[in-house]
Structure 1
């Protein structure tokens, strides 16, 4: 457990992607089975314990210390695992520290009534870092900035293989991955990828540099289509197994039974998951009603019917098409979709153009209807094979320019992980007139990235110096016509929302600039956002 705790602690304070990769690769190389496998499962989000709930942790700590004092401590720190790790009363003469595999084995079979005594025994035996790692493991909220994709890259680095080789077999593996490590260390053959319903590593696009790339590229070599505003998915129906995966290989089938039911084919479709009303696209906000749910009821299924707009075809029957050029895959896809008797699958249409100038005009002024819900354009070379990863040249994404507004900082909340000591989550608002004709601020969004570490320190100090009210972990910041901090906010799209008092919701808001120079009264009005809605 101590090695796992050191790993999590190091990851949480390491910003560099390459440094994180080295930390995990070295951990996997040095630790024995099955501990390293369980650690890998925890990092990729593939390890959970049904009987271990945050309530058990709270009961354990409130049995050892004054609940009011714990509540104050939790309010100040803002993270359950970190708070308990710091305040847990040490017990002299406690048992030995548990091994990671020992903890996993016990929790996988423990009943809910057995969890609290186990937690107390382990917390007694661990130091503060070990307690934090244990509790993060229990709750599943590691928050150390290490994605599933990076974990697979670390495995690839360990074995000196390509990441796509790891991804090809990943869904045929199970924690603690002893067969994977045996292959990577040359002790056995590569695990079989022949697993029905498996995920195929996706091909991604490079952002296009208009000033450089267009001068080198021939417009006739590329096809263009809209980049739809949903989430990229892979809909696999293979040998009786149906799965819906995100672009990172996460299985979201349980949240979209309507799509799974419509997958009456043998193949693997690469496309965009959208909410479709009689073939017409709904906003991303409608899709969000379906995302991140363990189950969906009949009401949600009827109100937000999901479907897939197909981009590509990776598997047609038993034929793997990934080594065919895009032009051939596109023809096969058109035939494939035409055979489906379902309104939940349609084809992403290609956009005809002859010059980059024509395509630029289309991007800047798309026709009304569905394209208004697109994020920009995708360019795909006609002769491109379907290569895992983000190869340079075959595919480009040309996103629409982000919208910008000036808003005023209204509220702030502490972050998580390495940001738990900083106010890093910011709610901002714009001006509107109240019933008396006075200008007041109304919240329109929340952002927690887009700024540098140095700017985070400046923002944190501003919040601390200008807090006027406290609501649990939230701080209300002084903001009015004559005093306030203006933030330039960039966002990808805007939609009407009945869930927000302002009536609007932003897509991917982020802090573009801190306008220390701009008076708060010169920030934008709600009417500016309403005009963007058209």
Structure 2
């Protein structure tokens, strides 16, 4: 456990990607099985524990530390694991060898016990582990339990470190990943040349997704319109539908998120329909949407189906899931990813025509000759064939005609050209400290716009943003909050605002939905601070009528 704790601690303070890769590769090289495998599972988000929850941790610390001291410390630190690790009282008489058979505590001990043990006795066992560890060890243990490592490592980067260990390409690990389970003994045996590449024996495997770069102004001078195909970028979530048959001839039908998470159980209406397609095996890349009466609903409607493990009968009926296909990656034993996009698109069109599934259709292409023409389509999708579905489009995709399907984000092949964001001038109302490296700064900001009420104009909250500003601007915002705080509500600070005072923020956002949870009646999608309007008085901020008009 100490070695894993040291790795997390060093990763948290290592700023460079190459430095993080080096740290993980060396860890995987020198740590034994199964410790390194469970560490890899933690870094890739493959571990979850049914009974170990943040509430249990809060209960344990409340028995050992004054609640007021804990509340003040948590408010200042902003991170539960770090706060508890620092406040946990040292016990000189504690068993420093809290693992099995009196040996030092291992990561594998913790994972096995949390995974197989029940709720009874868990609090006592967790307390014994915390007593046995130092501050860094306690922090790592609690991060593992809460599943919030926040050390700047993506699942892809951790898999890349494993690939470097064996001199392999990251995509080779990705291709094998979904047939493997922690602690990945066969994966490390392959990396070290002790065994052949693992055969996942998965009849419906996930194919690592190909991603696009955001297009920049200079790109238009370097790429040729005739070499690219335009396609609408739909405002849903990227998914992959995979089908096949196992050794016993049983049909396997799965729906994966962009990162490879199996979300099939939450969308039985879609998987059942796709399972009836007249093809033995296939992998479709597409967008998950809600379509009702041939109309693609906005993202806010799709959210009713997201982040659920299962779906009720009522939810299935009111929010029917649909996949709009972008690409065909496999079909009946043939891997199509080495074909050009133009060739795959032709195969996809034939596939969709033969499918006969009401929950599946093609994402239409956007013909264009020049960048100017494509810019017009981006600005007005309804006039370029999108019709009533224009509000569900968040921009355009540009795909090179001769591009093969390459996992990751290769340069020069695919570009995304999102529509310009909406903007509103709002007034800062509340602030809260951030987490991790931002725990010392007020970096989460709630803002509002004006609304006429019987007693006069009043600010109503319309959103919350915690990014979009530079590090220098963060320092300025933090200083403003500290100098203008007028009230405190636990960790939240209310700043001075009104017609005569207040800080105006230009907020950029991708969309707007009706919301019964907000006093304003609206909720923004992906709000961020585009500009700090030091020059603008609060009385000149926008009014709620402007947002309501946009919503209509």
TM-score by length of 2: 0.92
Q: CA deviation at 1:418?
A: 2.2
Offset, 1:471: 2.1
The 5 Å alignment of 1:3-152 reads 3-97=3-97, 98-152=105-159
Structure 2 CA distance for partners of 1:57 and 1:217, relative to 1, 3 Å: closer
CA RMSD, aligned part only?
Answer: 1.9
Q: How far 1:199 sits from its partner (Å)?
A: 0.8
| Aligned equivalents of 2:543, 2:10: Cα separation in 1 | 44
Aligned match for 2:379, one of 354, 364, 367: 364
Determine the C-alpha separation between the residues in 2 that align with 1:54 and 1:208.
41
- Relative to structure 1, the CA distance from residue 14 to residue 492 in structure 2 (aligned partners, 3 Å threshold; closer, same or farther) is farther
Partner of 2:545 in structure 1? Answer: 527
Q: Deviations over 1:12-46 (max 9, x none)?
A: 33443333333322222232211111111111111
Q: Which deviates more from structure 2 when the two are superposed, residues 70-79 or residues 17-26?
A: 70-79
In structure 1, how many angstroms separate the alpha carbons of the residues matched to 2:53 and 2:82? 16
Unpaired runs of 5+ residues, structure 2, are 98-104, 246-250
**Take 1:345 and 1:101, find their aligned partners in 2: how far apart are those partners?**
44
CA distance in 1, matches of 2:60, 2:391: 53
Q: How does 1:61-460 map to 2 (within 5 A)?
A: 61-97=61-97, 98-210=105-217, 212-239=218-245, 240-264=251-275, 265=277, 266-367=281-382, 368-436=387-455, 438-460=456-478
Shift of 1:117: 1.1
Counterpart secondary structure, 1:335: helix
Once residues 485 and 428 of structure 2 are traced to their aligned partners in structure 1, the CA distance between those partners, rounded to angstroms, is 11
Specify the SS of the correspondent of 1:369: helix
Q: Measured at CA, do residues 435 and 341 of structure 1 come closer, stay the same or move farther in structure 2, by a change above 3 Å?
A: farther
Counterpart contact for 1:432–1:440, Cα < 8 Å? yes
Residue 529 of structure 1 aligns to a residue whose secondary structure is helix
What is the SS of the residue equivalent to 1:224? strand
Of 523-532 and 105-114, more deviation after overlay is shown by 523-532
**Contact (CA 8 Å) 1:495, 1:533: kept in 2 or not?**
yes
- 3-state SS of paired residue (1:85): helix
**Closer, same or farther: CA 241–521 of 1 in aligned 2, 3 Å:** same
Point out 4+ residue stretches in structure 1 off by more than 6 angstroms.
none
CA contact (8 A) 2:429 2:448 kept: yes
Instruction: Find the aligned partners of 1:125 and 1:38 in 2 and give their Cα distance.
Output: 20
Q: Distance in 2 between matches of 1:147 and 1:221?
A: 33
Please tell me whether the aligned partners of residues 269 and 320 of structure 2 are also in contact (alpha carbons under 8 angstroms).
yes
Given that 1:143 and 1:416 are in contact with CA atoms closer than 8 Å, whether structure 2 keeps it comes out as: no
DSSP-derived class of the 1:113 partner: coil
Deviations along 1:384-424, whole A, 9 cap, x unmatched? Answer: 21111222222221111122222111111222222223222
State the TM-score, normalizing by the size of structure 1: 0.95
1:492 aligns with 2:510: yes
Q: Counterpart in 1 of 2:101? A: none
Count, aligned residues: 532
- After superposition, the C-alpha distances for 1:325-345 in whole angstroms (9 at most, x for unaligned) are 212211221121222333221
Whole-angstrom distance in 1 between the partners of 2:515 and 2:449: 16
**Helix, strand or coil: the match of 1:527?**
helix
Gapped runs of 5+ residues in structure 1? none
Partners of 1:398 and 1:56 lie apart in 2 by: 45
SS at match of 2:121: helix
- Shift in Å at residue 274 of structure 1? 1.0
Q: CA deviation at 1:75?
A: 4.2
CA distance in 2, matches of 1:194, 1:379: 35
Mapped to 1, the partners of 2:436 and 2:346 lie a distance apart of 48
What CA distance in whole angstroms lies between the structure 2 residues aligned with 1:150 and 1:204?
15
Say if 1:427 and 1:115 are closer, same or farther in 2 by CA, change over 3 A: same
